[in-house]
Amino acid sequence: MSKADEFAFQPGRRIKRKPDFGAGDWAAVIVVSTAAAEGRAADTTGPLLTDWLTGHGYRVPDPIIVADGAPVRTALQRLLVDLPAGERPRFIFTTGGTGTNSDDTTPEATAEFIDRPAPGIMHALWAYGLQKLDEAMMSRGRAGLCGQTFICNLPGSPGGVRDGITVLDSVLHHLQAQLADVRDHDDSHRHPAQPAPASGPATGVVHTSITEDPLTDDAAVAVLSPQMGAVASFRGAIRNHDSGRDDVTGLDYTAHPQAGEILAATCAAVAQEFAAESGGVRIWAAHRIGSLAVGEDALLVAVAAAHRREAFACCAELVDRIKAEVPIWKQQHYATGGHDWVGIGS
């Protein structure tokens, strides 16, 4: 099973929500096709997106059909600039114009309006598409935020749009909440971890978080308990070399919107597995995202057990599982000014 299948498309990992959570907001669909705009071909992708979004309660007008090239920018301008801020759509999905033909400039037009890119979304779309079609790697789409509107470019084929819907359906509700600044998770990750109180769980997961804040040194203290005096910890810091290069200057970490839930589930599963062997463990894990310089901690894990052997084994297993299962991507930067995405497509 690929990482795309592992994190994005299992219903059990989705946030519970009403099916019509989009009621009260509206979304726009832009179909980029010169042939459809000129009446020489039928629109085969707009209805797919319209049906999907209306199924979640969004009000969706008829798709806006435009020719490739400059008309795409004009359509985005009308939705994102000309309309008053309170009347702009919550979502804009485009389909078409993401390839390598000379007039495939939808990504360039979209980039002009994006304030905050969302590269993790696009990498999830590419990863899923590549399971079916090698040409999926040729899509140059963009995704990101313009104010409180989320914009995403999808391919111009019905199959590409269906794949996009499959990937995005699992995070649409979470995007909706964050665009409206509604938090459907607690903010405990924004505060330093505190030592576990005596009334806390004797075993299990003490703390998990994905945060943009620097990681603290409280993990080892937090997992201590009178029953568990063996503590093993791991700190993963940014190094200055990788893949034969010694000019790494830093990394940008991007997390899937449900990465926090998956991290918590991974830690709980490892704790349960080791409970049968060791009589119980206590786990603390945090992963940092955002821009990190060489020497800064990206991952901090601590495990307490009654004996050191179990603590070491559980800590090692947990670090391996976090790296394999939690959807966090890293873009590596070099002193020469170049960069690459580590592990994408592997």
| E strand or H helix at 144 | strand 143-146
What pLDDT does residue 196 have? Answer: 41
DSSP 79: I
List, edge to edge, every strand of the sheet that includes 143-146. Answer: 64-66, 27-32, 91-95, 149-154, 143-146, 116-117
Q: What is the pLDDT along the chain (346 residues), one digit of tens a residue?
A: 333 343 344 433 444 455 666 677 899 999 999 999 999 999 999 999 999 999 888 999 999 999 999 999 999 999 999 999 889 999 999 999 998 898 899 999 999 999 989 888 998 888 888 887 788 788 899 999 998 999 999 999 999 999 999 989 888 888 888 887 654 444 444 444 444 443 344 568 888 999 998 887 767 777 878 888 899 999 999 998 887 788 888 999 999 989 999 999 999 999 998 887 777 899 999 999 999 999 999 999 999 998 999 999 999 999 999 999 999 999 888 888 878 787 665 4
Q: Is the pTM of this model over 0.75?
A: no
Give me the pLDDT at residue 20, please.
65
Q: What are the backbone dihedrals phi and psi of residue 342, each rounded to the nearest 5 degrees, phi first?
A: -85, 125
In 3D space, the residue among 209, 218, 233 whose CA is nearest the CA of residue 281 turns out to be 233
Give the pLDDT confidence score for residue 66 in this predicted structure. 96
Quote the CA–CA distance of 279 and 237 in Å, as a whole number. Answer: 31
- pLDDT value for 1: 38
Distance between CA atoms of residues 249 and 222, nearest Å:
32
Region label for 272, one of left (φ > 0), alpha (ψ between -120 and 50) or beta (otherwise)? alpha
Q: What is the pLDDT of residue 190?
A: 47
Measure the CA–CA gap between 270 and 263, rounded to whole angstroms: 11
Alpha-helical regions (H) of 186-278: 219-223, 259-278
Report CA-CA distances (Å) from 142 to 44, 93, 97, 125.
21, 11, 11, 11
Domains in the chain, start-ordered, CATH in brackets? 27-182 (3.40.980.10), 204-342 (3.90.1170.40)
Please name which of 126, 142, 125 lies closest in space to residue 134, comparing C-alpha atoms.
Answer: 126
d(CA 46, CA 73): 18
pLDDT, residue 202, reads 58
User: In the chain, how long is the greatest CA-to-CA distance?
Assistant: 76
CA distance 326 to 260: 8
Cβ-based neighbour number of residue 173 at 10 Å: 20
Q: Is 56 left (phi over 0), alpha (psi -120 to 50) or beta?
A: alpha
Cα angle value 140/144/145 (rounded, 5°):
150
Write down the pLDDT at residue 280.
Answer: 86
Cβ proximity of 251 and 330 under 8 Å: yes
Among 39, 29, 74, CA closest to 165: 29
- For residue 10, what pLDDT is reported? 42
Cα dihedral across residues 225, 229, 230, 231: positive or negative:
positive
